Amino acid sequence: MLDALFSPKSIAVIGASNRPLTIGYRITQNLKDIGFKGPIYPVHPKDPEINSLKAYPSITQVPGEVDLAHIVVKNTMVPAMMEECGKKGVKFVIINTAGFKEIGGDGIELEKQIKEIAKKYNIRIFGPNCQGVMNSDTVNPTYANFTFTKIKPGHISILAQSGGVGEVINQRLYQLDVGIRMYASNGNAADISIPEILEFWGNDEKTRVIVLHVESLSNPREFMRVCKAITNRKPILGMKTGRTAMGARAVMSHTGSLMKADTSIEAIFDKCGIISFKNQEEICQAAIAFASQPIPKGPNVGILTNTGGPAIIATDECIEGGLSLPDLSEGTKKHLKANLFPEATVSNPVDVLATAGPKEFAVAVESMLKDENIDSLLVNFVTPFFVDCAGVAKEMVRIAQAATKPIVINTMTDKTQWKETMDILKAGGLPTYDLAENAAKALVAMTKYGEYQRKQDEPVASFADTDKKAARQIIEQAKKRCCEFLSLGEALGVLYAYKIPATKFTIADTAEDIMTSADYVGYPMVLKVDSADIIHKTDKGGVALNIMDKKTLKEKVDSFQKQFKGCQFKYMAQEYLTKGREVIIGASHVEGLGHLVMFGLGGVFVEVLKDVSFKVAPLSEHEARGMIQSIKGFAILKGTRGEKGVDLNRLAEFLMRVSQLLTDCPEIRELDLNPIMLYPEKDKCKVVDVRIRI
């Protein structure tokens, strides 16, 4: 429990100072400014008074209990101060001081040392190298932080790995006149971690939405576990920065170049229902709507406007964000026709005209919200000087307060001249925007979250006909041999155990043997030379396609024998598949996370167009289908220009079976089914080549 961190009853500042331009002074001033209710104990070796507060030479000499102590002394002095905190029985320390893990060398040692002291005394550490925390609570507000942004009470909590980014988001919300609930930027996170803070806020009733900034995740699995539990009942809006960083780990073997720096964090966000943003403005704007509005039950948005142009912008943005603008029901249209001005447009988007007053807005808002075709409402409200705008605002608030569908309002106005109108909307809890794009984007984000909430309880796919034991046996044996890659036979054995069909094949050392064993493969057949010496075997004539009978096979075997005389090689015969649609399923193990599954069309679609999708295993059926549908070339699989599509159910099943295999065999580091040949006929679909690394 982090109560004594975010709502401490008393705070000490070790390293407090009387010089106003120091962190040690600033923290005491921030606590005074916010109106911290408990005692503030500056600690300073000599000064008897700091910033008009009684100071103490050591924390051990502070009279009362200390819930939380800031430590802002030089890094090398921190351990000694921690020892004193321990003796005093301090519950939490915020170590603002930098010069720990982040500087390497001695810093790493120092960080280890303070962690040991903390363990000894049961102190929890926030930081080091961090800003601190804030809590706008109206009963006991806290500003245990050295930054300067002002806060006011609200329902958005902000957690940022980068203090700079957190500060910007906090500042932007303040500029937008929006309150926040709690704030934390925990720097090196030596002890108290991002998941722990998230979990605490998940249980904080006044936090309605969490805004999260990350650059990396130290424990993805714990992060996912915590976030999944939270997004179940409360939205998390996430932003990952460093998208274009060059040093991204190549997590996929064959398809390594596809893995952008942020692929795994994006996939993690997606997996645990975190709505992802790429822009600080958009994350702030969306948070405002999440903090006050119910989540839409579906993608159908109604747009209501009193001016033309901005409604077009709202429409563009909604459609591009995946929302729909459905027709209104006949009843609604009739009601609008009867009650709005004759020139008004009564189809979606509804234009009540600039002359519309409180009555017209009330009619439109109320009947659109009631319409079962509509899941959410976007109102474009330019404030004409000849209209009772305050009256319009009052009506919208009145109706919204009884509504179960979200409303966002784009108020096109001068906020100084129309202050009364804006105040009414604000007091009524209606989120207001300056630009139609922002209002629409907020609805898009809320709709995405609603969709996640409705789908998240779907179970992970599981097939009863798989033979886990057989697969595990193959892998255990390979492990004993210390092999990195499974042999083709082993890999096929693993697929076989999970009922993932592959083309038949056989390998033989001699011409005689291949003639015998090839019967098993059957015709049509491909014959290949299999040798480490012969690369580019197609170019060198080492591949014979579409062999239709034993006679031709004999001819080809003879010709290989002549052609590759002197080379060390084997004969490989494989079932020949007619041209179908090639796809790739890949998987790679990501440290601390589990497996990332990749799907894409084969060849240039993957290599040039990067048209792939990633998800964290294990996959539910919904997720497997989502992966297939989310690639741009999906229509190719569905069938185009009269060509029949492939069996998409079978493809989804392949993904789910791969997912199950990965869960059962976590030793798999990489898996590549490349290509898989798909057809309209379920039973023809087969894996052509497979590679498994353990």
Least Å distance, CB 26 to its own copies, is 6
Considering beta carbons, is residue 326 or 501 the nearer one to its own copies?
Answer: 326
Considering beta carbons, is residue 165 or 224 the nearer one to its own copies?
Answer: 165
Distance (Å, whole) CA 539 – CA 535: 9
Closest to 82 in 3D by CA, of 101, 102, 97, 65: 97
Q: Which two tokens mark 606? A: 């993957």
Contacts of 380 (CB under 8 A, 6+ apart): 303, 304, 305, 306, 307, 310, 311, 314, 410, 412, 436, 439
Residues near its own copies (CB under 8 A) are 21-23, 26, 148-150, 160-168, 171-172, 174-175, 213, 215, 241-245, 278-281, 307-310, 312-313, 315-316, 319-320, 382-383, 385-386, 412-415, 417, 434-438, 604, 607-609, 611, 632-633, 635-636, 640-641
Least Å distance, CB 148 to its own copies, is 6
Least Å distance, CB 165 to its own copies, is 4
Least Å distance, CB 409 to its own copies, is 14
Distance (Å, whole) CA 647 – CA 335: 47
Considering beta carbons, is residue 215 or 513 the nearer one to its own copies?
Answer: 215
Beta bridge partners of 156: 209
Least Å distance, CB 127 to its own copies, is 15
Least Å distance, CB 468 to its own copies, is 37
Least Å distance, CB 140 to its own copies, is 24
Considering beta carbons, is residue 314 or 590 the nearer one to its own copies?
Answer: 314
Contacts of residues 58-61 at CB distance under 8 Å and 24 or more positions apart, as own/partner, are: 58/84, 59/12, 59/14, 59/84, 59/85, 59/88, 59/90, 60/84, 60/87, 60/88
DSSP 277-320: ES-HHHHHHHHHHHHHSPPPSSSBEEEEESSHHHHHHHHHHHHH
Q: Report angle CA 662, 251, 494 to the nearest 5 degrees.
A: 30
Single-letter residue type at 85 = C
Least Å distance, CB 172 to its own copies, is 6
Considering beta carbons, is residue 435 or 577 the nearer one to its own copies?
Answer: 435
**If DSSP codes are grouped into helix, strand and coil, which group holds residue 641?**
coil
Least Å distance, CB 632 to its own copies, is 5
Largest pairwise CA distance in the chain:
103
Q: What separation in angstroms does the CA of 483 have from each of 435, 476, 488, 667?
A: 59, 10, 12, 12
Least Å distance, CB 168 to its own copies, is 5
DSSP 318-341: HHHTT-B-PPPPHHHHHHHHHHS-
Least Å distance, CB 241 to its own copies, is 5
Contacts of 222 (CB under 8 A, 6+ apart): 193, 195
Q: Which residue has tokens 């185009």?
A: 640
DSSP H helix total and E strand total for the chain? 23, 29
Considering beta carbons, is residue 260 or 504 the nearer one to its own copies?
Answer: 260
- Dihedral pair phi/psi, residue 398, rounded to 5°: -55, -45
Considering beta carbons, is residue 316 or 512 the nearer one to its own copies?
Answer: 316
Considering beta carbons, is residue 196 or 607 the nearer one to its own copies?
Answer: 607
Contacts of 1 (CB under 8 A, 6+ apart): 200
